[in-house]
Amino acid sequence: MRASVPAFVLVSLAATGALGASARLRDLADVQGARDNAIFGYGLVVGLSGTGDSERVLFTAQSMSGMLGRIGVRVSPEQVRSRNVAAVMVTATLPAYARPGGRLDLTVSSLGDARSLEGGVLVLTPLLGPDGQVYAVAQGAVQTGSVLAESAGVRVRKNQGATARIPSGATIERAVTPELGTGPLVLALRRPDFVAAQRVAAAVNAALKAEVARAVDAAAIEIDAGGKSVVDIMASLEAVEIEVAGRARVVVSERTGTLVAGEGVRLRPAAVAHGGLQVTINKEPITSQPLPLSRGETARRDKTDVQVIEPTAAIRALPATATVDELVAALNALGATPRDLIAILQALQAAGALDAELVVM
């Protein structure tokens, strides 16, 4: 049995300037009080090809029995013997100005021991908020982006199949109306920064042609509405262009094999030595045939061969890099797998050789 490791896809995001670029105000800040809300629900994914929860997962059998009972089919949980169903947790984000009839994207995650949700369909699932009210109803075919194939004890899998997505899989049933209050309008920066807060305040004053905005701290800009509605003010400010400094960040996802590096990510000179351990397990069936007239029985057993290979780790020198292209060349020179590259980046950050924020998803 060998685990397949996907190759990393490196995507670079380069800004037009060296360390900064202009962005619209709507992409930098939100109106304080108008926020997204997390909703969730418990449901069943059906139609799996024998990759669902096993009999050891008792709550799946109980859920199937309850669901069938609501439509008039009486069956005891002990009588449920199906590997085509998986119990899942469904999560979504409800936008601030959601209205009934809107659609939401869903994330579906297995709760039991299902091997894969590939090819399944989520059955009607209510999505609840923290207050216990139903805000949306979910249903639809799941999309895993994974491949699972197995035969004769050999399994090949690409990407994680226990988590899936359903684009536009939920319908909003309850409206959420933000309470903005009657005081000054407050803009909350999505990424707190003192320089950005000052520039936003200056841009707002220039757009409204009045000294009505001031930076309260690194994350908040207070605007004197002067009796105007929030809709009128934000309609005139959302398209205002503001120059902001770029944020050095590297995002890696081991599940999908993706690495995204933004402009401004730099490496300091460092030496890297990273060794890998490869374990290979092979099973070969052996049949033992008894001698004629010996009254013996044919016996079958498996011969297992385990090989452990630990290659010699070579020390590689990484030069200092100042651009995304140089960073790509330095990482490609290592020839590392996704798991190794994540460990190397974490070690470089701990050693002070990576001038960027590292985000592992």
pLDDT in tens, 132-189: 999 999 999 998 876 666 655 556 666 678 899 999 999 999 988 777 666 688 899 9
Task: Establish if 295 belongs to a structural domain.
Answer: no
- The count of domains in the chain is 3
Contact 104, 38 (CB under 8 A): no
Q: What is the C-alpha to C-alpha distance for residues 172 and 185, in angstroms, rounded to an integer? A: 28
Task: Establish if 325 belongs to a structural domain.
Answer: yes
Q: What is the DSSP letter of 200?
A: H
Task: Establish if 83 belongs to a structural domain.
Answer: yes
Helix, strand, coil percentages in the chain from 3-state DSSP, rounded to 5 = 20, 40, 40
- Which amino acid is present at 14? A
Write down the pLDDT at residue 105: 94
Are residues 271 and 161 part of one domain? no
Structure tokens at 90: 């469904």
Write down the pLDDT at residue 3: 39
Write down the pLDDT at residue 106: 95
Are residues 195 and 117 part of one domain? no
Are residues 336 and 280 part of one domain? yes
Tell which residue, 350, 272, 352, has the closest CA to residue 317.
272
Are residues 185 and 164 part of one domain? no
- The residue among 74 and 177 whose pLDDT is bigger is 74
- Residue 18 Cα distances to 45, 351, 354, angstroms: 48, 25, 18
Domain hosting residue 309, numbered range: 1-18+247-289+301-361
Are residues 262 and 136 part of one domain? no
Mean pLDDT of the chain: 80
Write down the pLDDT at residue 268: 81
Tell which residue, 96, 95, 123, 98, has the closest CA to residue 174.
98
Are residues 227 and 275 part of one domain? no
Burial of 255 (0-12, 13-18, 19+ CB in 10 A): middle
**What's the distance, CA 330 to chain centroid?**
26
- The residue among 122 and 4 whose pLDDT is bigger is 122
- Which amino acid is present at 141? A
- How would you classify the pairing of strands 249-253 and 357-360? parallel
Q: Which of 245, 263, 278 is the last residue of a domain?
A: 245
Helix ranges restricted to H, the chain: 25-28, 58-70, 194-208, 230-237, 324-334, 338-350
Contact 199, 187 (CB under 8 A): no
What number is the average pLDDT over the span 12-16?
40
Are residues 283 and 251 part of one domain? yes
Are residues 353 and 268 part of one domain? yes
Total residue length of the chain: 361
Are residues 327 and 201 part of one domain? no
Are residues 139 and 167 part of one domain? yes
The answer to which of 65-69, 190-194, 254-258 has the lowest mean pLDDT is 254-258
Write down the pLDDT at residue 12: 44
Task: Establish if 124 belongs to a structural domain.
Answer: yes
Q: DSSP per residue over 115-161, as a string?
A: S--TT-EEEEEEEE-TTS-EEEEEEEE-B---EEEEETTEEEEES--
Say yes or no to pLDDT of 253 above 90. Answer: no
Give 282-291 pLDDT, tens digit per residue: 667 777 777 7
Say yes or no to pLDDT of 301 above 80. Answer: no
Q: What is the DSSP letter of 313?
A: P
Are residues 137 and 101 part of one domain? yes
The answer to which of 55-69, 190-204, 291-305 has the lowest mean pLDDT is 291-305
Task: Establish if 296 belongs to a structural domain.
Answer: no
End-to-end alpha carbon distance in the chain: 26
Give 99-130 pLDDT, tens digit per residue: 899 999 999 999 999 988 988 999 999 999 99
- The residue among 56 and 255 whose pLDDT is bigger is 56
* % of the chain at pLDDT higher than 90: 25
- Please calculate the CA angle 348-354-357 and round it to the nearest 5 degrees: 110
Write down the pLDDT at residue 15: 37
Beta bridge partners of 38: 93
* % of the chain at pLDDT higher than 70: 77
Write down the pLDDT at residue 279: 58
